[in-house]
Amino acid sequence: MLYLLYGDTTPLQIKYEELLSELKGNHPGIKEIIYDASLNEITGFFDSVSTNSMFSPYQLIVLKRAEDYKNLADLAKSLEMYNLAQKDIIIIYEEFLNDFGKRTNEISKKVLTTFGKIAEIICFRKENEKKASVFYLQKNLNISQNEAETLLELIGDDYFKLKNEVEKIKNFLDGDLFNMDKIIPILSINKEANLKKLTESFILTQQTKELLNFLRDEKTYPNFIYIITDELLIYLKLILLIDSSMLDRNVSYNKFKDHVFEEIKKYFVGDRGNIHSYYLFLKLKNVNLFNKDFLVKKLNELLLLEYQVKSGELDLDIEVGAFILNFYSN
């Protein structure tokens, strides 16, 4: 069987590992033979593909970095000539994103059309990333979706770090059931996740000490502006939806999940895709702590602060500290 696997870096790597595991499960003991198109190993790749004998063992052949091969559509046409009955072949095309999230080397329609005649085409891009990471954690740690999402927030979505943390957790538990409180001390917690947790706590409790200490030590002031802006926007959108009668602040979770969430989730799409229904429901339970005018005022202050810092008028660390300390004043 021939597979063309393409997409962005992290989700692509996750999907590759899943496919590799599935194919090895079908043929225990099989080892992959890996070729790299960026190192001009196409000839070796075709030598392996063309080798056919009734005595040959089943083969798993991988061509990595196919995006560096200029004649990929012609490669697909050439593969039509070979008998692949005793082989699984994976061709990996990695798409790269620029600073604006746009693909700089998107796979062409011609390549997809040509491979579509002979291969199973699997696309896995950034919009699939969180879902893929959550599934990976669920499958490897035998945990619920909510546990997987919480864990992902703590350790981040870098695939190689994710994989290392999963192995660390498995070794630590040594067959015991998963327990979040038990494994947190051994995790290499993502700075962004820690900052998000402290920011959420600050907004709800008005406690500033831990957040200010963290920002001072880690120098994550720009991330704080992004995170608190996102948090305040979520609360503002919830209030506006309540005011427009699209949402009831006293709704039960089952009703929210089954009947309400699908109608309103489009308003909460972020850089990582759709927000999870339970996460949004928890925000709804705290919406009484704020009013619309307060949230609009704070968002305007953040907008002005960001502009003044970027224009060089203010020092970021000093102004962020002042913003936190004065957040609930007046």
CATH of domain 191-325: 1.20.272.10
Give residue limits of the domains in the chain: 2-124, 130-186, 191-325
> φ, ψ for residue 217 (rounded to 5)?
-75, -40
Give whole-number Cα distances, 74 to 3, 40, 77, 129, 301, in Å: 16, 16, 5, 30, 57
Mean per-residue pLDDT, 295-324: 90
Task: Give pLDDT tens digits for 193-234.
Answer: 788 888 998 999 999 998 999 899 888 888 899 999 999 999
Tell if the pTM clears 0.75, that is, is over it.
no
Please, how many CA atoms are within 13 Å of residue 149, restricted to the half-sphere of its CB? 11
CA 207 to mean position of chain CA atoms: 30
CATH, range 2-124: 3.40.50.300
Based on DSSP, count helices (H) and strands (E) in the chain, helices before strands: 16, 5
Q: What is the pLDDT of residues 99-116, one digit of tens each?
A: 566 788 999 999 999 999
Rg (CA), the chain: 25
Amino acid at 22: E
